[in-house]
Structure 1
Amino acid sequence: MGSCSSHAASIPDLDSIRRETGFSQASLVRLYHRFQALDKNQKGYLCRTDLQQIGALAVNPLGDRIIESFFPNGSYSVDFPGFVRVLAHFRPVDEYTGVRDPKEPEPLNSRMNKLRFAFQLYDQDRDGKISWHEMLQVLRLMVGVQVTDEQLENITDRTVQEADEDGDGAVSFLEFVKSLEKMNIEQKMSIRILK
Structure 2
Amino acid sequence: MKRRFCQLDRNGGGFIAADEFLSVPEFAVNPLSQRLLRMLDGLNFKEFVAFLSAFSSRATLQQKIEFIFKVYDSSANGKVTFDDMLNVLRDLTGQFISEKQREVADFDECSVELISCGDQQC
* Change in CA separation of 1:126 and 1:150 when aligned onto 2, cut-off 3 Å: same
Give the superposition deviation at 1:123: 0.6
8 Å Cα contact 1:46/1:77 also seen in 2? yes
- 1:121 aligns with 71
The superposition leaves residues 41-81 of structure 1 with CA deviations (integer Å, 9 ceiling, x where unpaired) of 11111111211211112111111222333x3xxxx431111
User: Is this contact kept in 1: 2:70–2:76, CA < 8 A?
Assistant: yes
In the TM superposition, what whole-angstrom CA distance separates every residue of 1:72-126 from its partner, at most 9, and x where no partner exists?
xxxx431111100110111103xxxxxxxxxxxxxxx110110011011011112
Match of 2:98 among 135, 146, 149: 149
**What per-residue deviation string (whole Å, max 9, x for no partner) do you get for residues 141-195 of structure 1?**
11113x752686489669xx9xxxxx45422235xxxxxxxxxxxxxxxxxxxxx
Structure 2 equivalent of residue 183 of structure 1: none
1:78 equivalent in alignment to 2:22: no
1 CA distance for matches of 2:14 and 2:44? 7
Partner residue, 2:31: 61
Residue pair 2:8, 2:21 contacting (<8 A) in 1 also? yes
Contact preservation (8 Å) 1:129, 1:170 = yes
Amino acid at match of 2:116: S
Residue 100 (structure 1) aligns with = none
Deviations 1:118-137 (A, max 9, x none): 01101111211111111111
**Equivalent residue, structure 2, for 1:112:** 62
State the TM-score, normalized to the length of structure 1.
0.52
Aligned residue type for 1:83: F
Asked if the contact 2:73–2:80 (Cα under 8 Å) also holds between the matched residues in 1, the reply is: yes
Counterpart Cα distance in 2 of 1:43 and 1:50: 13
More strand by share: 2
How many pairs were matched up? 116
Over the matched positions of the two proteins, sequence identity in percent amounts to 28
Structure 1 counterpart SS, 2:85: helix
Query: In 1, Cα distance between the equivalents of 2:104 and 2:49?
Result: 35
RMSD value over aligned CA atoms?
Answer: 2.6
Q: Which residue of 1 aligns with 2:18?
A: 48
Q: Which amino acid aligns with 1:78?
A: L
1:16 alignment counterpart: none
Larger radius of gyration: 1
Which amino acid in structure 2 is aligned with residue 51 of structure 1? Answer: F
Could you tell me how far apart the structure 1 residues matched to 2:55 and 2:101 are?
A: 28
Cα distance in 1 for residues equivalent to 2:72 and 2:61: 17
